[in-house]
Amino acid sequence: MSSITIRNLNKYYGSLHVLRDLELSIESGEGVVLLGANGCGKSTLMKCLNGLEKPKSGTISIDQQDVTGARGKRLRNIRRGAGVVFQQFNLVDNLTVFQNVLYGAMGQRPGGLLTVWHSLAPKEFREKAMHCLDRVHMAEKASHRCRELSGGQQQRIAIARMLMQSPKIILADEPVASLDPKAGIEVMDLLWEVVREHKMTVFCTLHQLDLAKSYADRIVGMKAGRIVLDSNQDSADKESLATIYQGETRVDGTSMSDQEYSPADVSTTEVA
């Protein structure tokens, strides 16, 4: 059964055609990594998946529910089942680690912020928050302000907050792009461990080809708003991966220069 289904998706910004007749299906329990050069449409696709952007045409279904036509309460219900891990963490710096993790439960009961405010949160939520922090090895930081933590630690807190939702699907948008290589590997190890433990589906955008090869069950490549590669991890060779980054890769039609990319880059950590 498909967890994510995208059919004939088109998205414009003014006259700029960003996503072009895009088709993709991700099965329940799959770990799929999306690769592509800057400006190819990856981030726009992720925004469409969680309802932050509406496409011009086409459909998106998450866990058999239509995202493209959803509004208000219906969209909020869909989002509860799809946890998001962002590149920039999106934590509240002046609140404690514990309070930030509690926010992951905000949509689970009526009352909004009051439901997860530290002193008013139900015991079950407070216990679950500590369990989630323990799972990401950050329980000892529960009383610290998020601004006191390193980037890698903050991304662990973001994963714990996502776990508070008890989602079936994870949308991870460049989750290690702002981290150094060591912290990035630690975060990817943790994220994939959590996904496998809970039998979640994960759709993750990355720039790093070596990480994609290490973690993905399946690698999808995007170029100029279209899917140009869809391959099992074992059959994604250097030559096929190289095609993602060559020629006219941006949605505005401009080409990458030789300084921006060369085929040898597929063996390095950072591609774009």
CA distance 231 to 236: 6
Report the chain's mean pLDDT, rounded to a whole number: 84
Q: What is the pLDDT of residues 37-54, one digit of tens each?
A: 888 999 999 999 999 999
| Rounded average pLDDT over 54-67 | 94
| Rounded average pLDDT over 43-68 | 93
Helix/strand/coil for 175: coil
| Rounded average pLDDT over 166-174 | 93
Question: Per-residue pLDDT for 115 more than 60?
Answer: no
Q: What is the pLDDT of residues 213-264, one digit of tens each?
A: 899 999 999 999 999 999 887 777 777 777 788 764 455 555 544 333 333 3
Considering all CA atoms of the chain, what is the largest pairwise distance in Å, rounded to the nearest integer?
A: 58
Question: Per-residue pLDDT for 113 more than 60?
Answer: no
DSSP state of 122: -
Q: Where are the domains of the chain?
A: 1-81+169-180+195-272, 87-166
CA distance 96 to 155: 14
pLDDT of residue 183: 93
87 touches 178 (CB < 8 A): yes
CA distance 178 to 183: 10
pLDDT of residue 143: 93
| Rounded average pLDDT over 47-74 | 92
Q: Which residues of 159-193 are buried (b: 16+ CB within 10 A; e: fewer)?
A: bbbbbbbbbbbbbbbbbbebbeeebbbbbbebbbe
Kindly list the distances between the CA atom of residue 208 and the CA atoms of 137, 177, 247, in Å, as whole numbers in the listed order: 25, 9, 19
CATH code of domain 1-81+169-180+195-272? 3.40.50.300
